[in-house]
């Protein structure tokens, strides 16, 4: 026992600063998740074909209302039938086009070992995006600011299970014409991970791409050869694509950047009240949007977006992390695999506080997503209140859950050494394994060491102030911000970005309506 205690004492000392859990040594399994569990299937192969065929029939018979003349032109030239604003899709042509999209997408990041591949068994995780509000225990719930957005970037940078950056909080204190400039500048300087670009008009998209190219130090040509960022296009369910989204899809396709087509199919509201019906609509809209990418630039990277959830039929309020959400996620994975495309899902909750409900709803959604074969987990950390708030404490709670999934995805070795028959014989009947060689050789890395969970006994926990998980998350969040290390960005690139932002601001920024 002494030897273990000594070694454990030593470890304990090294681990005494919580940061050592946060900035742990490079762990490939945390940086690029590989989920080797066979995905859970909600439907039979026949049922998936039925949903697939029904969505093709919707695309053909009902069509999609496309509000962008430019997009309608693209569709028409590709051979779709355009009547007024409605595009009717030829099913065979749809499948031909979708077949051109790559099954695996590697996004380049400016940080070392930060490239991330999504598709098949590979998974990338992103922070929450687009919430108008921010909250923490000190300040409560406030409108988002650039400073708070930067805090979320600091947190996103600090944890290896976060691979991709979401625009967590909307910086409402920055004018809309230059907001995209400051979001992208902060995102590419506070983090070295794959950044996000809003579809807020062609000018804003071009500006954002420009900053990302400067941050990565790549030419326009090099940029077009690999995705260096990603964007999400939401169809306006039911069966509509608006002008801004169409332009974004076209812009991303032309630039060769990743576009995630996510229908906003809330079952019972913008989609049928049945899960099967909602998936028919989701699938139709996703195929329509992804087709446009492949018409514009065959082979451009896309991701099949699933966001199907349901509303509370008593109030119309959207609900997340529900049993129906999980079933839809399982089914969406099957549909995405039907086309051999990466699948996007999310970690979501309708809770108004970073509490037990937030934890269990988010975890329901994460299990649905990840066991359903999700390759791109958006809103993976920080989402609260159905996406209206980014919570600092929820971010830490989510990171803990994500780290648990990252560990879960590490395979278990079955070998003579791990079966431990010698150790079992050494210890004998009624002994313990603390001091055996078998344990000593492995104990430091055998088990997941938590970030947030407190496993101490009640008395010790009470002595330390009886802090619940949310209160402890608050401390970890504050520590994380305090101990954050800004990733190195060469000064010439930094200056080039500053000049670019200043120049574009001087020119009046971007018109985000077109």
| Residues within window 45-104 making contact with its own copies, judged by CB under 8 A | 47, 50-51, 54, 57-58, 61-62, 64-65, 86
CA distance 408 to 405: 5
CB nearer to its own copies: pick between 12 and 113? 12
Considering only 27, 173, 340, 407, the residue that binds its own copies (CB under 8 A) is: 407
**Bridge partner residues of 116 (DSSP):** 107
CA distance 454 to 456: 6
CB nearer to its own copies: pick between 187 and 399? 399
How many angstroms separate the most distant Cα atoms in the chain?
81
268 contacts: CB under 8 Å, gap ≥ 6:
310, 311, 313
CB nearer to its own copies: pick between 314 and 482? 314
**Bridge partner residues of 378 (DSSP):** 346
Q: Check residue 351 for interaction with its own copies (CB under 8 A).
A: yes
Sheet holding 81-83, edge to edge: 81-83, 86-88, 64-66, 240-241
Considering only 35, 189, 389, 480, the residue that binds its own copies (CB under 8 A) is: 389
The nearest distance, CB 362 to its own copies, in angstroms, is 8
Q: Check residue 324 for interaction with its own copies (CB under 8 A).
A: yes
Q: Counting beta carbons within 10 angstroms of the beta carbon of residue 302, is it exposed (0 to 12), middle (13 to 18) or buried (19 or more)? A: buried
φ/ψ of 227, rounded to 5, equals -75, 130
Considering only 448, 487, 494, 505, the residue that binds its own copies (CB under 8 A) is: 448
CB nearer to its own copies: pick between 1 and 221? 1
Encoded one letter per residue, x for contact with its own copies by CB under 8 A and - for no contact, window 220-259 reads ----------------x-xxx-------------------
266 contacts: CB under 8 Å, gap ≥ 6:
237, 278, 308, 309, 310, 311, 318
Tokens of 147: 């400073």
CB nearer to its own copies: pick between 41 and 243? 41
Number of residues this chain uses to bind its own copies (CB under 8 A):
126
Q: Check residue 434 for interaction with its own copies (CB under 8 A).
A: yes
CB nearer to its own copies: pick between 300 and 370? 370
Query: Stretches 104-112, 150-158, 322-330, 493-501: which one binds its own copies (CB under 8 A)?
Result: 322-330
Q: Residues 147 to 206: which contact its own copies by CB under 8 A?
A: none
Q: Residues 451 to 470: which contact its own copies by CB under 8 A?
A: 452-458, 461-462, 466, 468-470
Other beta carbons less than 10 A from residue 401's beta carbon: 20
Considering only 2, 25, 430, 465, the residue that binds its own copies (CB under 8 A) is: 430
Q: Quick check: bond before 390 cis, omega within 30?
A: no
Query: Stretches 225-233, 261-269, 293-301, 489-497: which one binds its own copies (CB under 8 A)?
Result: 261-269
The nearest distance, CB 249 to its own copies, in angstroms, is 18
Query: Stretches 22-30, 291-299, 436-444, 491-499: which one binds its own copies (CB under 8 A)?
Result: 436-444
The nearest distance, CB 298 to its own copies, in angstroms, is 27
Q: Check residue 439 for interaction with its own copies (CB under 8 A).
A: yes
Q: Residues 410 to 429: which contact its own copies by CB under 8 A?
A: 410, 412-415, 417-421, 423-425, 427-429
CA distances from 439 to 16, 419, 431, 434, 452 (A): 22, 12, 13, 6, 25
Length of the chain equals 514
Q: Check residue 8 for interaction with its own copies (CB under 8 A).
A: yes
The nearest distance, CB 13 to its own copies, in angstroms, is 10
CA distance 316 to 51: 26
Other beta carbons less than 10 A from residue 111's beta carbon: 15
Tokens of 109: 């990041």
Considering only 101, 269, 303, 381, the residue that binds its own copies (CB under 8 A) is: 269
CA distance 194 to 452: 26
Query: Stretches 169-177, 197-205, 244-252, 265-273: which one binds its own copies (CB under 8 A)?
Result: 265-273
Question: Cα angle vertex 367, ends 362, 370, to 5°?
Answer: 115
Q: Check residue 107 for interaction with its own copies (CB under 8 A).
A: no
């Amino acid at each position: 026992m002494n030897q273990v205690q000594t070694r454990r004492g030593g470890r304990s000392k090294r681990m005494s600063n919580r940061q050592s859990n946060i900035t742990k040594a490079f762990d490939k399994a945390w940086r690029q998740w590989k989920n080797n569990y066979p995905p859970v299937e909600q439907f039979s192969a026949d049922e998936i074909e039925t949903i697939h065929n029904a969505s093709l029939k919707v695309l053909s018979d009902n069509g999609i209302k496309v509000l962008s003349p430019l997009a309608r032109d693209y569709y028409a030239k590709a051979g779709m039938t355009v009547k007024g604003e409605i595009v009717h899709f030829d099913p065979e042509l749809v499948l031909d086009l979708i077949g051109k999209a790559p099954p695996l997408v590697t996004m380049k990041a400016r940080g070392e070992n930060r490239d991330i591949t999504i598709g098949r068994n590979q998974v990338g995780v992103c922070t929450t995006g687009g919430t108008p509000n921010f909250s923490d225990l000190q300040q409560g719930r406030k409108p988002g600011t650039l400073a708070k957005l930067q805090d979320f970037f600091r947190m996103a940078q600090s944890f290896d299970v976060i691979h991709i950056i979401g625009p967590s909080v909307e910086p409402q204190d920055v004018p809309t014409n230059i907001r995209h400039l400051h979001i992208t500048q902060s995102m590419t300087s506070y983090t070295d991970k794959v950044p996000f670009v809003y579809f807020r008009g062609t000018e804003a998209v071009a500006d954002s791409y420009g900053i990302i190219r400067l941050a990565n130090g790549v030419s326009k040509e090099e940029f077009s050869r690999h995705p260096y960022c990603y964007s999400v296009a939401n169809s306006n369910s039911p069966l509509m694509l608006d002008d801004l989204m169409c332009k974004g899809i076209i812009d991303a396709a032309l630039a060769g950047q990743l576009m995630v087509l996510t229908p906003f199919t809330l079952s019972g509201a913008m989609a049928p009240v049945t899960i099967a019906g909602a998936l028919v609509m989701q699938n139709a809209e996703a195929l329509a949007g992804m087709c446009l990418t492949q018409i514009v630039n065959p082979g451009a990277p896309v991701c099949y977006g699933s966001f199907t959830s349901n509303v509370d039929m008593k109030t119309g309020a959207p609900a997340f992390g529900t049993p129906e959400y999980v079933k839809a996620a399982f089914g969406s994975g099957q549909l995405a695999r039907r086309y051999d495309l990466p699948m996007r899902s999310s970690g979501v909750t309708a809770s108004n506080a970073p509490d037990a409900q937030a934890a269990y709803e988010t975890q329901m959604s994460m299990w649905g997503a990840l066991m359903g074969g999700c390759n791109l987990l958006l809103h993976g950390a920080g989402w609260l209140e159905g996406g209206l708030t980014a919570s600092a404490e929820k971010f830490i709670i989510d990171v803990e859950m994500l780290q648990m999934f990252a560990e879960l995805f590490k395979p278990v070795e079955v070998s003579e050494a791990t079966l431990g028959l010698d150790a079992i014989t050494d210890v004998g009947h009624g002994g313990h394994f603390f001091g055996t060689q078998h344990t000593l050789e492995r104990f430091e890395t055998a088990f997941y060491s938590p970030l947030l969970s407190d496993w101490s006994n009640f008395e010790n926990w009470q002595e330390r102030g009886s802090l619940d998980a949310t209160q402890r998350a608050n401390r970890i969040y504050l520590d994380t911000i305090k101990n954050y290390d800004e990733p190195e960005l060469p000064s010439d690139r930094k200056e080039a970005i500053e000049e670019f932002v200043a120049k574009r601001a001087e020119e009046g920024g971007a018109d985000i309506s077109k």
